[in-house]
Chains A and B, each alone.
Chain A
Amino acid sequence: MSDLTRKTAVELRGLLDAKEVSAVEVATAHLDRIEAVESRVHAFLHVDREGALAAAARVDKGEVTGPLAGVPIAVKDVVTTKGVPTTAASKILEGWKPPYDATIVERLKAAGMPILGKTNMDEFAMGSSTEYSAYGPTNNPWDLGRIPGGSGGGSAAALAAYEAPLAIGTDTGGSIRQPGAVTGTVGAKPTYGGTSRYGLIAFSSSLDTPGPCGRTVEDTALLHAVIAGHDPRDSTSIAQPVPDVVAAARRGLQGDLTGVKLGIVKEFAGDGSEPGVVAAFKESLEALVKLGAEIVEVSCPHFQYALPAYYLIAPSECSSNLARFDGVRYGLRSGDDGKHSLEEVMSLTREAGFGPEVKRRIIIGTYALSSGYYDAYYGQAQKVRTLITRDFEAAFAKVDVLVSPTTPFVAFPFGSRTSDPYQMYLADLFTIPTNLYGGPAISVPCGLSEGLPVGFQIMAPTMADDRMYRVAGALESAIGTLTPPAL
């Protein structure tokens, strides 16, 4: 048997269907791989060997079937897993075991997918490099001295290091797509409301979107189909049928894009992207044109305000959401020695439990929402959100999807952007507009720059997730997948 960890989810299902391997063997191979490489990669915060093997055994007994039954998965640590530690990479939740599963975790379990463990991330999903994890950074398997992206760096690195064939991420400003881009893997942000947020530890509730990560477009679409769909426990969940993303991905993989109009955003040009990123993006566009696609330039004049609007809206919502971490109902409590008041215990707990990026954002959010500044900051940002939505709607009247590089630069070395937070925020320049609008977007590997992966982003109208998968499949058929260097 060749190495099971190199197989795609589709290939693993083929082997399981043919009874050439058991689900327990597949899970064991991945758990062993985790054990072998984790000291160098640090993609996981917690590995659940027992739980994964028990879930695999149920598949082998025929108790669970389905298109991904027996395919192991890694889950970002911001998603609650019943009885399995969930920390959102924060000290304030160290050792917390949630009493319930997130809806998407229930769906993974119902689909027979053994959960290998919980992946590292920026604390509370705030960051673009996984350097803000309270438990130490994850290393990019392409170059262990570089960031794996953020906030879902652990999920993306687990895929690139062959520790898991599939993973779950969450995307608030690009936290699925940007790590996908810099690790040479596929990451999709579904339509906001297309996947349930029940059981996600909330960061910015109007933006947070859980989604699938994989090494191929088809694998990612299969996972998308498992987790998407209406959930009555989430009031923002959309009660509409999920588009057939699997069929769309397979259609795209046949390599025909005749009649498909790809929009390139005029205002994205000249935004300081690295030349190697621009070159890989242009080559990919040429490949898509050869498959029959037409390129149309569109103008989205308000996209330039997306980054500032996001960095007001997200911290504002975060300052409100993170108020629940007060040392009363769960997590850390600090200073409770009989000498401090309740208010002092809360302040000491939050000081001890939160890292620098979380504190920065709580303070910015508190500022933006405070009397006297609300209209100038938060109120204006919500108006910009309207203008960006209008830009998208006008663009989608002319083209089927919008395309761009996923990130302006390839994976950067550790520490190179942490001293200047705003420089770090630029990593999400191309991904953020979609979060403000609510539509789906995907990052697909499209080549290398200086030996490091470059991502190609495809953005689609809300609830047209299938469209982006078709183009993503076509791109993969033309460019292929990337193989990271051996660890």
Chain B
Amino acid sequence: MAAISREEVAHLARLSRLAVTEEELDRFAGQLDVILQSVARVGEVAAEDIPPTSHSVPLTNVYRDDVPQPSLTQDAALSGAPDAYEGRFRVPRILDEED
């Protein structure tokens, strides 16, 4: 497996919404390389006819009767928010004024 480059780590960090520092990029590139080389061994064993297991408990869709039940109040749901406005989560501006 190809070595993971500093640029690749920067790209992955962007995809992950992580604003990593220059120093972190250097450190992570080396460490991720070691980790990925070690875990690449999974490719040695599993043949095509082996089905994957995603979960140890067989998952089935579970339905309940469509009866309204109490849930968190609006105040409770907003209680941990860094910023709220008129009963909603306030987020930084997404669009420019002219958009």
Q: Using a CB–CB distance below 8 Å, which chain A residues touch chain B?
A: 96-100, 192-193, 206, 232, 235-236, 238, 302, 305, 308-309, 311-312, 319, 323, 326-333, 336, 338, 340-348, 350-351, 354, 356, 359-360, 362-364, 366-367, 370, 376-377, 379-387, 389, 420-422, 425, 436-438, 462
Contact = CB atoms under 8 A, between A and B. Distances in A.
Contact of B35 (A311, A359, A362): A311
Contacts of A236: 55, 57, 59
20 contacts: A100-B76, A309-B42, A326-B17, A328-B91, A333-B83, A342-B92, A342-B94, A346-B17, A347-B17, A359-B20, A360-B35, A363-B32, A376-B1, A376-B43, A377-B42, A383-B45, A383-B51, A383-B52, A385-B54, A387-B46
Complex A-B, nearest 6 residue pairs according to Cβ-Cβ distance, in ascending order: A438-B56, A383-B46, A330-B80, A382-B52, A333-B82, A99-B76
B39 A311 contact: yes
A273 to B, nearest CB: 19
B91 A342 contact: yes
B41 to A, nearest CB: 5
B67 interface: no
Q: Which secondary structure characterizes the binding site on chain B?
A: loop
Given A329-B80, A383-B51, A360 B31 contact: yes
Interface of B: 1, 4, 8-9, 12-21, 24, 27-28, 31-32, 34-36, 38-47, 50-57, 59, 62, 64, 72, 76-77, 79-83, 89, 91-94
A227 B52 CA distance: 31
Contact of A328 (B18, B41, B51, B89): B89
B16 A351 contact: no
A330 B35 contact: no
Contacts, number: 180
Contact of B57 (A192, A370, A383): A192
Given A351-B18, A438-B57, A96 B80 contact: yes
A308 B16 CA distance: 22
A328 B81 contact: yes
A232 B63 CA distance: 10
A359 B89 contact: no
B52 A330 contact: no
Contact of A362 (B16, B41, B94): B16
A336 B22 CA distance: 22
B52 A379 contact: yes
Given A308-B42, A328-B91, A341-B94, A206 B20 contact: no
B60 to A, nearest CB: 9
Contacts of A370: 12, 15
A331 B35 contact: no
Contacts of B42: 305, 308-309, 312, 377, 380-381, 383-384
B57 A238 contact: yes
A351 B19 contact: yes
A346 B19 CA distance: 9
Taking each of B16, B20, B89, which has the highest tally of chain A beta carbons within 10 Å of its own beta carbon? B16
A367 B12 contact: yes
Contacts of A192: 56-57
A375 to B, nearest CB: 9
Contacts of B59: 235-236
A106 B60 CA distance: 26
Given A99-B77, A327-B82, A360-B28, A420 B56 contact: no
B67 to A, nearest CB: 13
Contact of A363 (B12, B39, B82, B89): B12
A425 B34 CA distance: 12
Contact of B54 (A96, A206, A356, A362): A206
A302 B39 CA distance: 14
Nearest to A354: B18
Contact of A384 (B12, B45, B54): B45
A345 B92 contact: yes
B46 A235 contact: no
A337 to B, nearest CB: 9
A185 B87 CA distance: 47
A206 B55 contact: yes
B45 A302 contact: yes
B12 A366 contact: yes
Contact of A364 (B35, B44, B57, B62): B35
Taking each of B12, B32, B42, B91, which has the highest tally of chain A beta carbons within 10 Å of its own beta carbon? B42
